[in-house]
Amino acid sequence: MFSTEVQYALRGLSELACRPSDKAVRLDELVHGTQMPREFVAKVFQKLVKAMLIHSSRGRGGGFALARDAGAITLMQIVEAIDGPRPFDRCVVGLVECNDLMPCPQHDLYKPIRQALQQYLNQTTLADLAVSLRAKLAWQRLRFQSPLANSAPIADVPSDAVASAPDRPTEPAGN
Amino acid sequence: MFSTEVQYALRGLSELACRPSDKAVRLDELVHGTQMPREFVAKVFQKLVKAMLIHSSRGRGGGFALARDAGAITLMQIVEAIDGPRPFDRCVVGLVECNDLMPCPQHDLYKPIRQALQQYLNQTTLADLAVSLRAKLAWQRLRFQSPLANSAPIADVPSDAVASAPDRPTEPAGN
DNA sequence: CACAAAGCGGATAAAATTGTCCGTTATTGA
DNA sequence: TCAATAACGGACAATTTTATCCGCTTTGTG
């Protein structure tokens, strides 16, 4: 549905949104325990910086931080930051281009789906994603191991604890 | 939205559905006037043959034909023939797998979109696509040139006329 | 100031997708 | 039976996407 690049953007930003917002998060820290390739995510984050969805600071104590509240960053903005403006504008049928004078029936048929998708992307924010991720990770900790001993690598926790947190268990497959 | 492979399948089958169904259509004829690369479409069509959406016959007079009425072939069947069973089952957010015990909020949020898409693919048939393509091509012929002299490379027309029909004009860009 | 930590960005590599080539096999018609 | 025709399918090539490498710049700290 989305390119890996976009998925890394979504996941990476979610991780970012899950941490305390008062200080920058290093990329190493952010990627830790994830399956995401650090270097590639770095590239993706450059695009997000340029799109001004996040801020970056170099040197010691540097890292990334959301440029504004997670609730003010829509998924559409994220997708556009990666894929460029106005994605999903193409006709589903592809190869048979449509235009305003002669939109093909499929064009119209598909319209509601496209609109639903765009509405979803415009209305869902990074805050929603973060809630989701937090719940998911909490559940995994509960499900798998770590009987609450040093068990909160997420938010409202000193960063040293985060840095030394054990790797997360491999996530179960399936829908 | 869809891979080029799927798009060629959709377009190729539409072209097929646009021709008289009483005899096989050669790949050369089918691709003629299109931007589609013959050899690649050939590969795609092999998958469609194996998925039993079309029949093929070799040798002189051979070619491809729909295995059943265009109205009985859904877009979902076409997509599945190319991409394998149950596409669109993954969570949009990707990388954060969901499961039945712990579907993430996004999973649920996205549900209506996914369902709308699946419904579209299940309810729209190749016949719909063919209608669309026919209308589109007729409009283009009208719009661009060929003042009705030997002007119907589509359906209900002797195949010799089809074979010698002039290339279609480059389609105008835009949505 | 010097050093280490961090992001930045160009070059390169690996993998997946897309596209091409060409010999083989099956079928038809002369 | 032979030759022409058209799908079949394996190998290869090009392109795009995904991933890695490494030197550079910036910045905070001792």
Three-class DSSP labels, A61-104: CCEEEECCCHHHCEHHHHHHHHHCCCCCCCCCCCCCCCCCCCCC
Q: Which amino acid is at A69?
A: D
Q: B171 pLDDT exceeds 60?
A: no
Q: Which amino acid is at B16?
A: L
B60 is near strand C: CB distance < 7 Å = yes
Q: CA B44, C1' C28: Å apart?
A: 25
Higher pLDDT, B146 or B33: B33
The low-confidence residues of chain A, meaning pLDDT below 50, are 148-175
Q: CA A117, C1' C11: Å apart?
A: 38
Percent of chain A with pLDDT over 70: 70
**Cα–Cα distance list, A101 to A97, A104, B77 (Å):** 12, 10, 30
| Verdict on whether the full-model pTM lies above 0.95 | no
Q: How confident is the model at residue B93 (pLDDT cuts 50, 70, 90)?
A: low
Predicted local confidence at residue A169, as pLDDT: 44
Instruction: Tell me the nearest-neighbour CA distance from B112 into chain A, angstroms.
Output: 8
A139 CB-contact burial (10 Å; exposed 0-12 / middle 13-18 / buried 19+): middle
Q: B131 pLDDT exceeds 80?
A: yes
| Mean pLDDT across chain A | 79
Instruction: Tell me the nearest-neighbour CA distance from B93 into chain A, angstroms.
Output: 6
B85, A175 contact by CB (below 8 A):
no
Q: B4 pLDDT exceeds 50?
A: yes
A165, A29 contact by CB (below 8 A):
no
Contacts of B7 in chain A (CB under 8 A): 93-95
Residue of least CA–C1' distance to C21: B39
Q: CA B174, C1' D29: Å apart?
A: 56
